[in-house]
Structure 1
Amino acid sequence: MTNFKAGLAATALIGALAAPAFAQDQAELITPIEEKLTFIFIPKVIHPWYDVVRAGAEYAVEEQAKRGVEIEMIWDQPPMADVADQNQRIEANIGRQPDGMAIACLDRATNVQLMNEAVEAGVNVVNFNSFCDDAFPFIGPKSSVQDGYDLGEYLAEELGGKGKVAILSGSLTASDHVERITGFKDALSKHPEMEIVFEQPDDDILENAVSLTENLLQAHPDIDGIFASNASNPIGAARAVKNAGKAGEVAIVGMDDLPEAVEFVCDGTINALKAQRQWDMGYWAITYMVALNENHTIPMFHNTGSRFLTSKDCGNS
């Protein structure tokens, strides 16, 4: 009986000590923003794809202004997908001590090292578009393997499970490009009569994608299909195929819904795209960086997803 009473007393004491913590108003944990915030976006490259990200971010900036939060948004984009250039920009911007940095990883290993340095320097860091590491909040598709797999299956169906295909592989260090190729090859492994006869990186440069496809068509005039792993190379492949008079003969599948790519879907040059929702990436990057500055919690993973786009969608546009 004595031990029972002692247990009750200990429980009461613990409850008394804990009570003030539970009594605290959680609203007191939130820090009001009274000064202008500076947020810096560092994408992988200057590219029209990121224009849509920026549009979403600008919308969020205007939305925050209506609630009294003023934001200066700075975009610092490498002109080409160059790892050293991007890392120099990340490092330089850490020194500016912004209130937030949103980074799209071009090279996980080196980018993550610098992102950790940014956090140590007191900068709020979010990751968007290309996944870096679980240590940072990420906005976008965490893995792009499924997109590549889905496009591989679509191409296999279009070609009846056989034929010669080519891959335009984008940037070899970009995790999303690499993962899409992995998924694509996984899909094709189920179709033994499909053969990959050409695979070259275009470094996410439209002109490179055009010239590579022209080389492909000369080296393999019997090519049946092309997989384009980023937003530039479906357009480049389609331009070259159409200029060669082979639109409709060579099946093309690829990523994203830039306007010219959508036009090629609607005229039948491109068979299918998987479109990401990059506007959401920009919107939520701003929203979450504001939240971090207010001492809110935010999700470590926000999956913005992707969707198929084929000629069936053209009548609705």
Structure 2
Amino acid sequence: MAAAAVLAGSLALSGCDRGGHTDLGLALSTMNNPFFVGIKEGAQAEAKARGLKINITDAQNDPTQQINQMETFTSQNVKAAVINPVDSDAAVPAVGVANRADVPVISIDRGVNGGKVGSTIASDNVAGGRLAAKALAEAVGGKGKVAFLEGLPGTSAARERGKGFEEGIRAWPGIEVVARQPADFDRTKGMDVMANMLQAHGDIAGVFAANDEMALGASKALGSASGKVKVVAFDGTPDGIAAVRDGALTATVAQQPRLLGKQAVDWAVRAAEGKPLPREVKVPVVLVTRENATAFTG
């Protein structure tokens, strides 16, 4: 009875109730990454607190899966759907499925390059990229050769972090970016790409990896040079923060995945109620270093 009351109050749609047994859908790009697991946990906790049923799916980095999952959501008569796109372009057909069913859509962490999306909730990736550039530049003493491990091509997060890093590193004329290559936000690929970069540039002084997973792979590839070559990451996952605390990583720009998941549910509910939504919701990031890593809770 209490849950039903919360539901009625939270999802009082304008003029009608869509019905069905699932209130919200959340289509994640992958759950093979601690960051997205954090988003899942935050969304689950908020949905539970509101007495809502949420269907959370894993696309395993396959855009076609997200189309199928959005079709499942609409068949369940969800009142709103949240998508974390595998690819910002390839997610457009998935959003179109919801649009045709008049299901409001919120995107999280990454934008969608088409379709009707109410809000995009994401960390301030551009600001985070600038913060990472400054941290790396200071760590290498303002001069030397650095490498850049880019994220998954086609995602807004990868583009925005890269944009911020490029803007930030230009302020340091003594630093030269001698290598840059995507490693798809993946730890194993990060290790392989870093190993290849080291063969061509054995005198690299620092690395920016656009997420913790790639940074951890890069750190492994560095071997005995790990800790000597300065590695700055992005995400603030438990593994990433532990690596900063232990000295394997110099710093990580920490997102707040559980807060992102919580806000996704909050804004999805507002969308379902027909309330006006901002185009973008930016969640702040913070730099985690060895000095504050122990106290940092993410």
Could you state the TM-score of these two structures normalised by the residue count of structure 2? 0.84
Percent identity between matched residues is: 25
Check whether the contact 1:177–1:230 (CA below 8 A) recurs between aligned residues: no
In the aligned structure 2, how far is the partner of 1:179 from the partner of 1:159?
A: 23
CA deviation after TM superposition for structure 1 residue 265, in Å: 0.4
Aligned: 1:55 with 2:51: no
In the aligned structure 2, how far is the partner of 1:28 from the partner of 1:128?
A: 22
User: Which consecutive residues of structure 1, in runs of 5 or more, have no partner in the other structure?
Assistant: 1-26
User: Could you report, residue by residue, the CA deviation over 1:259-304 in whole angstroms, capped at 9, with x for unpaired residues?
Assistant: 2211110111211111111111111222232333344444443222
Number of equivalent positions: 282
SS of equivalent residue, structure 2 residue 293: helix
What is the 5 A alignment of 1:266-305?
A: 266-305=245-284
Aligned amino acid, residue 136 of structure 1: G
What is the 5 A alignment of 1:1-317?
A: 36-46=21-31, 47-65=33-51, 70-71=52-53, 73-79=54-60, 81-91=61-71, 93-132=73-112, 135-141=117-123, 144-241=125-222, 244-317=223-296
CA deviation after TM superposition for structure 1 residue 55, in Å: 1.1
In the aligned structure 1, how far is the partner of 2:22 from the partner of 2:277?
A: 18
CA deviation after TM superposition for structure 1 residue 135, in Å: 4.2
In the aligned structure 2, how far is the partner of 1:178 from the partner of 1:91?
A: 28
User: Which consecutive residues of structure 2, in runs of 5 or more, have no partner in the other structure?
Assistant: 1-11
Change beyond 3 A, Cα 1:189–1:207:
same
In the aligned structure 1, how far is the partner of 2:85 from the partner of 2:73?
A: 15
SS of equivalent residue, structure 1 residue 302: strand
Check whether the contact 2:13–2:272 (CA below 8 A) recurs between aligned residues: no
User: Of the two, which has the highest radius of gyration?
Assistant: 1
Pick which of 106-115 and 224-233 moved more.
Answer: 106-115
Check whether the contact 1:253–1:270 (CA below 8 A) recurs between aligned residues: yes
CA deviation after TM superposition for structure 1 residue 94, in Å: 4.3
CA deviation after TM superposition for structure 1 residue 200, in Å: 1.6
Aligned amino acid, residue 249 of structure 1: K
Aligned amino acid, residue 41 of structure 1: L
CA deviation after TM superposition for structure 1 residue 231, in Å: 3.5
Change beyond 3 A, Cα 1:312–1:300:
same
In the aligned structure 2, how far is the partner of 1:129 from the partner of 1:60?
A: 17
Cross-structure match for 1:17? none
Check whether the contact 1:151–1:253 (CA below 8 A) recurs between aligned residues: yes
Could you state the TM-score of these two structures normalised by the residue count of structure 1? 0.79
User: Could you report, residue by residue, the CA deviation over 1:151-204 in whole angstroms, capped at 9, with x for unpaired residues?
Assistant: 112211111221111111120111111221122122222323322222121122
In the aligned structure 2, how far is the partner of 1:171 from the partner of 1:219?
A: 22
Higher helix share: 1
Aligned amino acid, residue 43 of structure 1: L
Check whether the contact 2:149–2:214 (CA below 8 A) recurs between aligned residues: yes
In the aligned structure 2, how far is the partner of 1:120 from the partner of 1:34?
A: 17
CA deviation after TM superposition for structure 1 residue 251, in Å: 0.4
Aligned amino acid, residue 106 of structure 1: V
Aligned amino acid, residue 276 of structure 1: Q
Check whether the contact 1:87–1:110 (CA below 8 A) recurs between aligned residues: no
Pick which of 217-226 and 35-44 moved more.
Answer: 35-44
Change beyond 3 A, Cα 1:264–1:130:
same
Check whether the contact 1:30–1:295 (CA below 8 A) recurs between aligned residues: no
In the aligned structure 2, how far is the partner of 1:166 from the partner of 1:116?
A: 38
Aligned amino acid, residue 253 of structure 2: K
Check whether the contact 1:32–1:294 (CA below 8 A) recurs between aligned residues: no
Aligned amino acid, residue 118 of structure 2: F
